Amino acid sequence: MSRRDFDPETVRADGRVAAKGVVFDAGAGGPWRGFLAGEVIGGEVTVLAYGNDTPGEGPRLHVHPYDETFVVVEGRARFFVGDEVIEAGAGEAVLGPAGVPHRFENIGQDRLQTIDIHHSPRWIQTDLD
């Protein structure tokens, strides 16, 4: 499928160069594998890697001053975003809007693995419980 969503002549490079950073150590244990702040590589988003093997387990209730997008890479999760409850599985994404408290938990019998995209060059969070 060929796409042409914009005219490349209308966009100017801003002078940044390609960069690489480590999000997580693939051999590390524990649920929080690591994160890469966008500001480290000159990007606009911060990327976190989270995973656990325990049903009912997940991050505590918290809030950010920016949007967060959760991509379920493996397993199933139940997301609590404000008053909404959303179940998502591998290949699906959930939005946590700025200023809305949220958390999620593993609802499968196997590993839950997510990539959490913070729409900010820095990870800024307030835990609520």
Is 55 contained in some domain?
Answer: yes
With respect to residue 58, please indicate whether it lies within any of the assigned structural domains.
yes
State pLDDT tens for residues 69-92. Answer: 999 999 999 999 999 999 999 999
Burial of 49 (0-12, 13-18, 19+ CB in 10 A): buried
User: What is the pTM assigned to this prediction?
Assistant: 0.89
What is residue 16's predicted lDDT score, i.e. its pLDDT?
Answer: 86
Residue 113 lies in a domain: yes
**Is the model's pLDDT at 46 over the cut of 80?**
yes
Residue 78: predicted pLDDT: 98
Task: Give the residue among 67, 63, 79 at the shortest CA–CA distance from 112.
Answer: 79
| Boundaries of domain holding 77 | 47-129
pLDDT of 29 strictly over 90: no
pLDDT over threshold 90, residue 94 = yes
What tokens appear for 44 in the block? 């606009």
Q: How confident is the model at residue 30 (pLDDT cuts 50, 70, 90)?
A: confident
Q: Is the pLDDT assigned to residue 25 strictly greater than 90? A: no
Residues 87 and 76: their CA atoms lie apart, in Å, by 7
List the CATH number of the domain containing 70: 2.60.120.10
Q: How many structural domains are present in the chain?
A: 1
Domain-embedded: residue 117: yes
Asked if residue 18 is part of any domain, the answer here is no
Contact 52, 31 (CB under 8 A): yes
Q: Tokens in use for 126?
A: 């307030």
Q: Answer yes or no: is 40 within a domain.
A: no
Rounded CA-CA distance 37/22 in Å is 10
Dist CA 118 CA 73 (whole Å): 16
